Amino acid sequence: MTTTTSIMRSEITEQPEALRRTLDAVLPMRSEISALAGQTRNVLFIARGSSDNAAVYGSYLLQTQSGRLTSLASPSVATIYGAKVDLSGVLAVAISQSGRTQEIVDTMRWAADCGARTVAVTNGADSPLTQAADVSLVTRAGNEIAVPATKTYTTQLAALAVLALGLGADLDPGRLTGVPDVIESALDQSDERCEEIAQRLVGVHGAVVSGRGLAFSTALETALKLKEACYLHAMGLSYADLLHGPIAVVDRDTPAVLVAANSGPTLPGIAALAERVASVGAPAYGIGGGSALGAACDLSVPAPDLSEWLAPVSLIIPAQLITEKLARRLGYNPDAPRGLGKVTQTS
């Protein structure tokens, strides 16, 4: 085990503070969001990479709690095809860590031209994205240096929870403001178990990461982290999509990482999936899921008790820790994966 630390590791531990600053700044903006969104019915998320995984969280949250149909944008419809789509009555929510990815800025501008109202969720306070948006929810993650997003991702989730409140979700904002403390006390406790899981993942070629509903976003983000920093062929799939074909790849050499909140309606399905994975001899590693998932997995990292709608903010943290530890064990620098820069430009 290497003892070197990394910038990614420091940024992981900064998350409680980053979340406090972000909530202080964006929670008061609920009424501004309500006013902007009053005339809209659908929400269109515009994002890539980790921000797109945050959008998946936002998508489930708004559909289950705010009664709004959501879409994830296909930016090429705007930037490559230059299509004319009727977006009147649509609230377009562009999510970008830097606020400077040209494709995202261009797609948000296109949405406005097509009739949408626009919201930016970004850590780039004075970025082209905030300049172009009707309302900006600026996360206060501070400067993020490691390429794999950590604190910018969890603060995006917090901003999206505020968006849901602004759109009328009947949820207790007090629960949201309590999240930073809950995460802070859980951070140290999960370190050792994450180390054990990272150790088991050394030498593994491929893995499946699965979650359902609100925690599906966590599965996607976990898979992305493992791909970008550990070069592991990790596939993020919802519980149901996994059973529609890809379950065939799970075998003795292909572990499954399963993610769930400690409570909620998706938990029985994920626990059953862990048993199915075990029945074909594949290792199952759990993140969260309370005792139901823990009992069905070979190893699991307990998650603090948070309501299902807030659990994704905490569930990703063990995955970040596992990624950072595994990258270092494999001799990679988690702060600077090969072939990637901090601001990705696509068109």
Q: Which tokens belong to 131?
A: 């300049």
Q: How far apart are CA 216 and CA 108, in angstroms?
A: 25
Tokens 């606020």 found at: 99
Under the binding rule (CB under 8 A), the answer on residue 144 touching a copy of itself is: no
Q: Name the 3-class secondary structure at 326.
A: helix
Please pick, from the candidates 103, 144, 324, 335, the single residue that binds a copy of itself as defined by CB under 8 A: 103
Contact assessment for residue 316 and residue 158, using Cβ atoms and an 8 Å cutoff: no
- Sign of the dihedral defined by the CA atoms of residues 305, 178, 225, 267, in that order: positive
Among 99, 213, 294, 302, binds a copy of itself (CB under 8 A): 213
Q: Rule CB under 8 A: say whether 281 interacts with a copy of itself.
A: no
Hey, what amino acid is at 251?
D
Beta bridge partners of 95: 121
Q: Which of 227, 293, 294, 301 binds a copy of itself (CB under 8 A)?
A: 227
Site for a copy of itself in 283-342 (CB under 8 A): 337-340
Report if residue 162 touches a copy of itself, rule: CB under 8 A.
no
Considering the rule CB under 8 A, would residue 75 count as an interface residue with a copy of itself? yes
Q: Round to whole Å and give the CA distance between 95 and 69.
A: 18
Instruction: Name which position in 16, 29, 33, 60 contacts a copy of itself (CB under 8 A).
Output: 60
**What would the two tokens of residue 7 be?**
């910038």
Name the β-bridge partners of 93: 45, 119
Min CB(22)–a copy of itself separation in Å: 22
Give whichever of 10 and 332 is closer to a copy of itself, judged by the CB atom: 332
Contact 70, 62 (CB under 8 A): yes
> Using CB under 8 A, which of 174, 203, 245, 331 touches a copy of itself?
245
Is residue 49 helix, strand or coil?
A: helix
Q: Taking CB under 8 A as the rule, which mask of x and - marks residues 25-44 in contact with a copy of itself?
A: ----------------xx-x
CB of 150 to a copy of itself, least distance (A): 13
Task: State the DSSP H helix or E strand holding residue 234, giving kind and residue range, or none if neither.
Answer: strand 233-238
Q: 239 or 285, CB closer to a copy of itself? A: 239
User: Whole-angstrom Cα distance, residue 78 to residue 312?
Assistant: 30
Q: Output the CA–CA distances (angstroms, integers) from residue 133 to 107, 152, 287, in the order listed.
A: 11, 19, 36
**Residue 230 and residue 245: Cα distance in Å, rounded?**
25
- Binding of a copy of itself by 239 (CB under 8 A): yes
What does DSSP assign to residue 263?
S
Q: Applying CB under 8 A, which of residues 5, 185, 189, 346 lies at the interface with a copy of itself? A: 346
Report the residue from 231, 298, 299, 305 that binds a copy of itself according to the rule CB under 8 A: 231
* Token pair recorded at residue 220: 């996607």
> How many residues bind a copy of itself, per CB under 8 A?
70
Instruction: List interacting residues with a copy of itself (CB under 8 A).
Output: 41-42, 44, 48-50, 52, 59-60, 63-65, 67-72, 74-77, 80-81, 83-87, 89-90, 103, 205-206, 212-213, 216, 224, 227-229, 231-233, 235, 238-241, 243-251, 254, 265-266, 269, 280, 337-340, 344, 346-347
